[in-house]
Structure 1
Amino acid sequence: MLDIRSAQDSPRDPSSARDDSEMFELAPVSLWLEDFSGVRALFDAWRAAGVTDLRAHFKDHPDLVAQCAQSIRVIKVNQKTLAQFEAADFAALTANLGAVFRDDMLKTHLEELCQLWAGQTSFMSQTVNYTLGGRRLDVLLKGTLLPGHEAQWDRVLISTEDITELEGARHRITAAEQYTRGLFEHSPVSLWVEDFSAVKRLLDDARAAGIADFRVFTDVHPEFVERCMQEIHVLDVNQHTLEMFAAPDKKTLLSRLADVFRDDMRPHFREQLIDLWDGKLFQQREVLNYSLDGNELHVHLQFSVLPGNERNWDLVLVALTDITARKKAEAYLEFLGKHDVLTKLRNRSFYVDELNRLERKGPFPVTVIMADLNGLKRINDQLGHAAGDALLRRAGEVLAKAMETPFHAARIGGDEFAILMPSTDERGGAAMIETIRQLLDLNNQFYPGSVLSFSMAAATCQQGERLEAAVQRADLLMYDEKRAHYANQDPPVQGGN
């Protein structure tokens, strides 16, 4: 009969023991054979003394960790260990173990001990050792109780894998991530990381349905733009975004995006969608958002589908620069260009441009009212220019109150005003003059002191006539009224209260 026995049942071959010894000696990883029986004895004594929680015991008696470490005896190490720790031989290594195992090593040793205390026959930790030359080594330590030695722990095989380069790479990656995160979080512009994949699916579905002219489609179906706006998923924002949008934290802002993207933002977003439809994955434009406190935010938007995400648009970076102050400055400059600062009415520049526009395009008939403030020079002479300016401001209040779209009142000289009334005949001009006279009466009741009055006249220009001719007619009629006013003498100027 064929005798089949396992290797364990076979007599021990002396050459096999020699192979085991050579494998240990020539292994490509650092190996240590150690005797932990002293640790086992300490554990048994502590259990007999009633210790149940080793971690708490070490917390109360931190010196015991070092006692455990000192009770471990190194039996042998392999060639890789000597090379890794820059030791000439086993004696040099064991004589200088204090230089190898030092500093924070005891913290990780505590974790190894707690694993053994819990009944595990193997343990693992990541720790720091040092070569005899003083070079730091990050090592991954793995230990196991050899079979047959579980009772005494007198044979423990330990490997110490040098992971210094790996740890260095990990630290560099972590530092790079922190650097990148810092750039994002502390950027001086508002940054949004968004997912536009749902928007892309909606556009793809529309294209698959046969939509060719997306602009016409969104004209007919504005609800599609609203749907796309609702499908934007904001993944993250930076600190400047919270400050700019008056949000206390990210959670609050992300829960109230409907308060940010609304109203006048929709036309801008529609143009953004049209560009995306046309394949423009990087865009710049000026748009309007709203902060959580309700204020308008004019922003310069830069939109970019990040490289590698062109297929799904699932990672988009949006940068917003607050240009609200610039927009206000531009609006004020535009206001100054077309308005009289003192009266808040339109100025002569606007009047000339509007006169030319009405000359070309109408609608006719166009009625022009010329008005001259009575007594301004005398008030300036007698009461000072501050009193004259106050009277001009009152004149602006009256004329502004009388205006309704599309009528415009303009100050075209020191005390001269003009009113342009498109699509208005002679009766409309007469009604406007009467309205102004009624407002003058109310104004004089409200402001005791200098009397506010106008000399006024109107002229109407029909289709085919020159508007400038109507202006001249109204001007002549106005001066006739002014002469009549002074012939009847103005009431004396009174000091204001």
Structure 2
Amino acid sequence: MTPDNDRDDATMFDLAPVSLWLEDFSGLRALFAQWRAEGVSDLRTYLRADRARIARCTRELKVLKVNRRTLELFGAPDQATLLANLGKVFRDDMLDHHVDELVQLWNGARSYTSQTVNYTLDGRRLDVNLQVRVLPGHEQGWDRVLLSLEDLSVREQARQALQRSERYAQGLFEHSPVSLWVEDFSAVKRLIDEVREQGIEDFRVFTDVHPEFVDRCMAEIRVIDVNTQTLTMFRAPDKTALLRRLPDIFRDEMRRPFTEQLIDLWAGKLHQQRETVNYALDGEMLHVHLQFAVLPGHERDWSLVQVSLTDITARKRAESYLEFLGKHDALTKLRNRSFFDDELNRLERKQIHPVAMLVIDLNGLKQVNDERGHRAGDALLRRTGEVLAKATQAPATAARIGGDEFAVLMPGGDEHAAEAFLATLHELVELNNQFHSGDPLRFSVGTAISQAGERLEAALHRADAQMYRQKKAFHANAEFDRRKDTE
């Protein structure tokens, strides 16, 4: 090679856009020969047993020359400064990567590539792609080895930032306090598009006429992932068990809300929320607030959808109980006075005739409260509620309209209906008194049948007046019995 060629090669080496190192590995080759002679066969295990052996290998690598890009990359003013500080460049986790490189040389490789770590002189970490090649003609002595380093730090930092972001997002998903589902609705979209292509315009009517279409759409939803709260909420031991039993979760009362969800999707509403019903794997009904969103970038095919479910079962039970209390008497479980008045007004507005009315008074309640306490009186009231609930069949309703006073409304009922009710009531009272050994149930009852053109309130007053006549007779007989007992 001519001197001019040598100068050209030197210039190309020095001006190369990547970091280049020309090194002498002959000392490392001699060290390997020594260890083989000493019986070392598994270099990886040998080096792992004593990290000082890795450092010894590194010391046997002699740097002959580096190029300008190398000095820039490592922040060295010149080659002498760089070589004097190689201990700062090759350290820490670089030694762990170095084991793999040494093992490749030990096993006969004369060129290899690896991703490793170096450090600049001011301590900045460099993630680099290392390419090593024993130069042709030097395979026996390893005295000329060319190393090139490509700086991957920016790319690696971006990759690590992406990993951190993914871990953060996964953490938010996995540990969210609400149930999260990632689903694929692409098959549902295809089914809806097929219906649209058939010329269907009123999708609501279509789903009413073809309920099997709703079932098919429900079956085509593919669940990709769920979070931990989902397993807790649905009483599932693991994701496999949950996904295997999806038909047990999405059924019955869910059909109507899901149909509305499909209708909204048909109309282009890709973000929705509504209340619906699911079931836990143990069969418990769960009331949930559902939020549905087709994720950005997937609007064309609905292939990635997030569904969040917030358990509102406790709230719905509380609302249901408050609604119950608003229309029922808490002690007897019968309807209350408020409901009775509303029902009376409703029947009046509807002009329903005839209406059989019964006003019923629980005799002796005050005496039981005075002599045996309110707990005993409450027991009598509960028994009255049980008897009246058993005797009353829809559309008739029974209500507690006062402390010891009850009423029964029988829309469309005439004298025969009232008499049949009284006969059933007497039978139930007799059975109840036989079952309970305490104070007997005794009623004063007034009945009235509304006449055409008569206000229902007037008929109610007639029944009330009849009840009071019975009650007065009851008290008169009770007073007569007490006098007789004292004679």
Partner of 2:137: 148
Q: Which residue of 299, 302, 308 corresponds with 1:310?
A: 299
After the TM superposition, list the runs of 4 or more consecutive aligned residues in structure 1 that deviate by more than 6 angstroms. none
Cα contact 1:362–1:422 (8 A) shared by 2: no
Partner of 1:245: 234
Q: Which residue of 88, 111, 114 corresponds with 1:125?
A: 114
Equivalent pairs counted in the alignment come to 481
Aligned runs of 1:2-401 on 2, under 5 Å? Answer: 12-361=1-350, 364-401=353-390
Gaps of 5+ in 1: 1-11, 493-497
What per-residue deviation string (whole Å, max 9, x for no partner) do you get for residues 7-31 of structure 1? xxxxx44322221111001111110
Gaps of 5+ in 2: 483-487
Cα contact 1:191–1:237 (8 A) shared by 2: yes
Q: CA deviation at 1:138?
A: 2.1
1:246 partner letter: R
1:466 paired to 2:458? no
What per-residue deviation string (whole Å, max 9, x for no partner) do you get for residues 149-192 of structure 1? 12222111101222222222222211111111111112222211
2:172 partner letter: L
1:283 partner letter: Q
CA distance in 2 between counterparts of 1:132 and 1:211 reads 72
CA distance in 2 between counterparts of 1:311 and 1:444 reads 71
Q: CA deviation at 1:487?
A: 3.2
2:328 partner letter: H
Name whichever of 152-161 and 358-367 sits farther off.
358-367
Q: CA deviation at 1:194?
A: 1.1
What per-residue deviation string (whole Å, max 9, x for no partner) do you get for residues 53-111 of structure 1? 32223233443222211111111111111121122222222122112111221101101
Task: From the two aligned structures, give the one with the greater helix fraction.
Answer: 2
SS in 2 for 1:488: helix
CA distance in 2 between counterparts of 1:280 and 1:130 reads 54
Partner of 2:468: 479
Name whichever of 438-447 and 360-369 sits farther off.
360-369
Partner of 2:399: 410
CA 462–24 in structure 1, closer or farther in 2 if over 3 Å, else same = farther
Q: CA deviation at 1:272?
A: 1.0
Partner of 2:443: 454
TM-score (norm 1): 0.92
CA distance in 2 between counterparts of 1:422 and 1:39 reads 106
Q: CA deviation at 1:230?
A: 0.9
Q: CA deviation at 1:130?
A: 1.9
CA distance in 2 between counterparts of 1:227 and 1:469 reads 58
1:430 paired to 2:422? no
2:62 partner letter: R
Cα contact 1:362–1:423 (8 A) shared by 2: no
Cα contact 1:288–1:299 (8 A) shared by 2: yes
CA 228–363 in structure 1, closer or farther in 2 if over 3 Å, else same = farther
Q: CA deviation at 1:228?
A: 0.9
CA distance in 2 between counterparts of 1:93 and 1:331 reads 79
Name whichever of 110-119 and 412-421 sits farther off.
110-119
Name whichever of 300-309 and 119-128 sits farther off.
119-128
What per-residue deviation string (whole Å, max 9, x for no partner) do you get for residues 367-400 of structure 1? 2111111111121222222221111111111111
Partner of 1:3: none
